[in-house]
Structure 1
Amino acid sequence: MVERIYLDSAASTPVADEVIQEMLPYLKQQFGNPSSIHSFGRETTRAIQQARRRVADLIGAKPSEITFTSGGTEADNLAVKGAAEYAKSALGKRHVITSYIEHDAVLEPCRDLERLGYNVNYLPVTAQGSVRPEDLKGALTKNTALVSVMHANNEVGTIQPVKELCRIAHKAGALFHTDAVQAAGKIPVDAKDLAVDLLSMSSHKINGPKGAGALYIRHGLDIMPLIHGGGQESELRSGTENVPGIVGFGKACELAAKNLAAYQKHVSELRDYLIGKVSQEIAHSRLNGSTISRLPANAHFTFFGVNGEDLIIKLDENDIAASTGSACSVKKQKPSHVLKAMGFSYEEITGSLRLTLSMQNTKEEIDRTVAVLSSIVRELRALSPFKSKYT
């Protein structure tokens, strides 16, 4: 039987064995509600606080600055809507700035704010998918409450100049949020060095369990809660905590910090090997995104004359998992808003394929993937109305 190859780590990652072992006691013996004052409750409270320290350590924060959520989407919603609503009530500000290439977890809250009467500016990006600092300067006003620009793009892997963008926002008196779901645990992320006010994270992108995430909220910053109830998570996120998920997330952050250098070396070397193989063996292909400021694990291509969805199906038939972009929206069958913002034509967008790597991948897997991919591309192009152009 042929071993399956998984090249979609930007969508999700397997839960590490060490993480599972850390979680098990909180699925069985240590099941107490953290809000209870008896020993069962105190056990789970201590576990949450240990996890909070581990998450904080990964991004150079204080434990008190970490609020646990159900994942990156909730963290983004809490950051964007929570900060905007507080700024409106306390300062009368109703202006928010984001970019056209944000994850839907940021774009949809911004659209909801527009429905509530906020003015939202969407920044354009370069052909490599990078936000230009001068565009942010031009969009800022004295009424700007919040700027939200992702740390690294989930589709093409471009890393944004977050530190510079944050400095510009602060100079104008605005808060700055960054969606670091794809960055935290994959590249060095230091909330204090970046000087961001809010930073979103997710567990299942770094070998932790699904259903857990966190929002870093700079000490002294006030935002409005979205979920009201018993006042858990410092009254910012009510509801009984997902103790096993939080414990697993904390362990995953500890492992990510410990293995960061090894991770970066292995996956970036593998990424470069993959990019080289594709460029050599598959004609009429192009790497998308920045060639300089790029996530170590991301390789995003356009294969002219073929459809990306067809590529995914054919690859899956050959036991290779890949994607065209965000796993959170791919089932909607809509063209990538990220690639559209980068100025791609319809043909360039529909011919895109994202391959994202992990510590578990090998050069042998890359060799097999490129060989299979090359064969599939030739097959699809032979059936294409543009076959004379690309064969």
Structure 2
Amino acid sequence: MGLRTLLESVRSALATEIRGVEQPGLTWERRLWLYRHGFLSSKDAIWDLTPGTVEQYLSDVEYRRVRGIDDPYTEALANKLLFHLLVSPTHDHLLADIHGVVMDGTFVDVPGIPETDSFEQFLERLADAPAIAKPIQAARGDEIQRIDRLDGQLRLDGRPIERTTLYETLIEGRDRLLTEHVSQAEYAARIAPDSTNTIRFLTMIDPETGEPFVARAVHRFGTPSSGHIDNWGAGGLSAEIDPDTGTLSRAVANSHSETTVEGWNDSHPETGTQIADCTVPGWEQINASVRELAGTYGRLWPHVGWDVVVRDDAGSVTVLEGDPQSVDADIQAHGPLLADDRVRRFYRHHGVLASERRGIA
């Protein structure tokens, strides 16, 4: 880990900890116990951290080392444009169509991605279906915007916007990708119709066999607090998926997000649709598609969080992106990762675990 990355990690950790200083009911004795084991105090309300379980959780200190697993190819995974260019030759059928690329305040033509260099071309595609604008380098739903037309009126995140204002919005700030808005399967739309609801697959390449495996899969659903995205940190819900059957658990809310939803939920708080015991249709095909993708690029990226939208009941999916720093807090809200011996061996092999834990089988 370079000095700049280390300093950014320390700054991020301190900012998170400062936000949790006023966490009610948390004594300084408990806080110091968490620090001693490598955890920020914010995890106390999310994970089941006890003397008997603490060694089975990947700690916050260890999490800071995770991004280095995919080095030196981490940036190619984190950059959404590079990711698309690398993956599309073999798995274009799994990727969202790109309708435009904005770099340095200009629509540009990118080799391998046709018809992306014109705002007018983008508007022509927008006439048929909504689109999504997102920074080329961003994570956790930052600055994702939905663009569509309603009765001829352009809209940005559901609010009317003039053509010139939309153009200026798209060319200002960070470089952006403009992609198709992926239609989701009926089960996901029934649970949370106002957001695109993704599955996060955490995949790893077994260092002994070279085979990919799914360490955990969770289904995220948007809420009124998270808006049109499903991000857990923004107030969405997270349900674990049984890897064998595709059946969902109860969905948990993030107690540290600005959300009106609390605790564990059997059903969606707005629509009332059941989440617990819902089964993802086409699960066997979905699981196989993601593991095949992870195996194909395993030498570049042995540790990835794939964000996947299920498109229909037959198991067709679109992979929105891959995340190198993919062990978000909701992954372990459903149980400790290191309870799985394969996961423990993987992290030990890549030097992620604290020294006192590397010898634990």
Name which structure has the greater RCO, CA cutoff 8 Å, separation 6+. Answer: 1
- Asked if these proteins are the same fold (TM beyond 0.5), I'd say no
State TM-score, norm by structure 1. Answer: 0.22
Q: Which has a greater percent of strand? A: 2
Structure with more of its chain in helix, by fraction: 1
